[in-house]
Amino acid sequence: MKFETREDIEMPLEALFQRISDFEGYERGAMRRGAEVVRVDNLQATGEGMRWKAAFDIRGKRRDIEVVLSEYDAPNGMVFDAESQGMDVKMLVDLVALSRARTRLSISVELSPKTLSARLLVQSLKLARGNIAKRFKLRVADFAKDAEDRHRRSA
Q: What share of the chain is helix, strand, coil (3-state, %, to 5)?
A: 35, 45, 20
Residues (pLDDT < 50) of the chain are none
CB proximity list for 98: less than 8 A, separation 6 or greater: 8, 104
pLDDT of residue 112: 97
Q: What pLDDT score does 155 carry?
A: 73
Q: Cα separation of 90 and 46, whole Å? A: 19
Q: Helices in 7-113 by DSSP H: which ranges?
A: 13-20, 23-32
- Kindly state the DSSP code that residue 18 receives in the 8-state scheme: H
Q: Tell me if the pTM is above 0.85.
A: yes
Exposure on the CB side of residue 49, measured as CA atoms within 13 A: 7
Measured distance CA(26)–CA(47) in Å, rounded? 16
For residue 105, give its domain range. 2-154
- Alpha-carbon span 77 to 96, nearest angstrom: 9
Instruction: For residue 80, give the 3-state DSSP assignment.
Output: strand
* Cα 52 from Cα 66, distance rounded (Å): 6
Q: Indicate which CATH number applies to the domain containing 35.
A: 3.30.530.20
User: Number of folded domains in the chain?
Assistant: 1
